[in-house]
Structure 1
Amino acid sequence: MATVDDDGYLRGPVGPTSNRRRRGKQVVQTKPGKGNVKQNESTKRAATTFGIASAFAAKVRTSLRELYFISDGKMINRLNKIMGLIIARHKKADTGKIELKSKAFKSLQYFEMNVNSPLRENLWIFPEIKLEDGNLNILLPEINVKEDLYFPVGGNSCTICIEIAIAALYHGLYRRPDDQSSIMFDVSRDAVTIPAQQWAIEVPAGCYCVTAMALHYYNNRRLKISLNSEQCSPAMICDFSIHEGKFAKTKSRSWISTPVYFNSKIKIQESPPEEDPES
């Protein structure tokens, strides 16, 4: 029910219309809701694409929860925007199919989870990551602690976390995190160097894998006190790759079901053509 405010303006709904005041004028408009919002085919396709992208982006964020990072306030919107561009770019206008090449998600490489404290400004050594023949190989070069790793005021210990999330694109299955996919090691501020380290993890055909890294700072003199906050929580998606091929269904307990996955309209090109500059 509409009411009249002290200045004589009508506010609120009256039948199929909504009334409000804007810049000293009475504004009457059709109420949003079922039957009142008209969408053309282009608008519907855009809404569907956004829905797919935002749901998948949410799944990616959830899959990296073992990093325990603190994101900045706009991270979700930033990730949704990039994911929407990726999905739209690889969606065929005539069929609606989304054809994902092995490097379809490369624009998410080096995506900062917290722009208030970018990881690239806190760690100057980056892991070298390559998915080849179904194996994800990660090489972290030697770290010169004083030159390559930043410590905030009061911080004397840093835990470097690397998380590898693996899931099937089509079948609604997500690989349960384990010691292989969740890597952590501590670095003391007093250390001189941290030797180069290397890891390898199998990625089944028909799966995507997201590799991310986070830094957790502590004051560790008497009690271990976390120094991370929304202003200081470096975390980044370092790599996002696809192992092309057909996923072999499994009942192994190392895989758990997930409601978010691409449906049968989406296919992966098993033998992609020459790399598209826009891919």
Structure 2
Amino acid sequence: MNTLEARPPLWRQYYALTKPRVVQLIVFCALIGMALAVPGLPSGAEAAVMLAACLGIWLVAGAAAAFNCLIEQRIDAQMKRTAWRPTARGELSPRQALVFSAILCAGGAVVLLVWVNALTLWLTLATFVGYAIVYTVWLKPTTPQNIVIGGASGAMPPVLGWAAMRGDLGAEAWLMCLIIFLWTPPHFWALALYRVEDYRRSGLPMLPVTHGSEFTRLQVWLYTWILLAATLLPFLIGMSGWIYLVSALVLGLRFCHLGWKLWRRYSDALARQTFWFSIWYLTLLFAALLVDHYVPL
């Protein structure tokens, strides 16, 4: 079979550039922000705004992901985790990736401006710049705290969702943003621990490369406790009820337990388990916020 025959269809290559799993989680968190911004079930008009906001945010997030693949083409080619990406394999040229990213970004901007509101548009574009430029081009290759500082842009989806429905920036939205911000370091450092050789080959100064495994594992464990404390705030300020509180405690204590085990007796398998649990953790935590919003106890 020749190289051309072995390649996936062109649409699949472009779709892969958008990092679908990451974007799905982004849109999900934005949707939770939208739902919590509306008292009770959304009306027909509100549901239409939600749909448009999800589409616009998906398009701009996909554009940022495609731009990230373009900028990190050389780095991706050196890492097993990312070597399959179309840009890393040379299946899509830099020009194709750039044009694709621009089209997605422009389309998302139009959707947000016309069918949502200008505040959501500018916040979403600022998030694009934060991830695609500030994080990818500047922070990631220069500091081991790249995930901590750059996590601010990745934590914005609930704020975008809230702004889409309210047209303002409520404290509840920033609290959800804080939770994602504190979740990001233990999530990515767990990945970096078992992919450390990939990052070392690529030259990226990830924390396990610059400060070693034990120090990184301690940071993961400490962050899980800080995160647990932050997840109690929605209940303490009356934003959520008992369903959320119980969920936050159960999920948070499990995350802390995994962090403790990771620190005390490391294995790649445990780091991988912690990484995948962190994804489910955030998904279930925000799902609990949604359930609690509609079924208060």
TM-score by length of 1: 0.25
The structure with the greater share of residues assigned to strand is: 1
Higher Rg of the two aligned structures? 1
The structure with the greater share of residues assigned to helix is: 2
TM-score by length of 2: 0.24
